[in-house]
Amino acid sequence: MDGILLINKPKGITSFDVIRKLKKILNTTKIGHSGTLDPFAEGLLLVLVGRATKLSNMLMSQNKTYEGTLSFGKHYDTYDHTGEILKEDNKVISLSDLEGIKGAFLGTYMQTPPIYSAIKKDGKKLYEYARSGIDVKLEQRMVTINSLEFNRLSENSFKFITNVSSGTYIRSLAVDLATSLNTYGYLASLKRVSSGSFNLRDSYLIEEVNENSLITISDYFKDSPKVVLSDYLIKLVRNGIRLDDRQIVTNEIFKVYDEFNNLVAIYEPVGINEYKPLILL
């Protein structure tokens, strides 16, 4: 069983909880997700089954779209409403205030991840340091905010939708926006609505899932270039050989077929005029 599942993760459970439940439903152990959602967040979770687990890094690197609620007046240690309040103020923020600073965040900016995150430092996850009360230096990373729109919900509470690069923490974005306005802010809700070409509207609830819910590897790559190789080269491909521009004329991910129209592998470009197997089928 190989393929991609689009799951609508509910609030209140971890991404690992989703995987644990799906292992039982699908009766498989070779399963994982591509891009964690916090327990308080909901929305699209990409689950990879069987040989599709090899797509994890590729899918994780794609842009994602989120919608949620940004609120002002409080600062939590977790950067969202699930944590402990550390600071408060009474400053009132308007929609025009947000629109005035938005331009500074569009494009690339250096972002510091929350201490309550799964990023590893010296072999330990940051949240493990936080729970132990150990101070660690948080390293900034460059992220990209492709779009960011706001609508006022109530005083100091705003609906937002944003498309961002992989590795962007929306909780950090909320805190950074508040800091730019000389106040405190936090993430009150969060929903992932898309990841790459996948959309939440095409997802399944956990209890709806069965084997027919899978997007097959061949379906996912249906629009990728097709390369037919000789029997001699197919034997080498099955052993994981790299290909070069003597056999290939594309610089995209491509499908390798044998002369009987059987899909044998998915290859990806690496370096200049060189290609390595992404998935062997």
Q: Which residues contact 100 (CB under 8 A, 6 or more apart)?
A: none
Cα of first residue to Cα of last residue in the chain, in angstroms, is: 11
Contact (CB, 8 A) for 172 and 138:
no
User: What's the rounded Cα separation, in Å, for the pair 121 and 36?
Assistant: 18
Crossing angle of the two packed helices 95-102 and 170-180, in degrees rounded to 10? 100
Contact (CB, 8 A) for 256 and 264:
yes
User: What's the rounded Cα separation, in Å, for the pair 241 and 259?
Assistant: 18
Give the β-pairing of 120-121 and 107-111. Answer: unpaired
List the catalytic residues: 38
Number of DSSP helices (H) and strands (E) in the chain, helices first = 7, 18
Q: Where are the alpha helices (DSSP H) in 77-152?
A: 95-102, 126-132
Contact (CB, 8 A) for 112 and 140:
yes
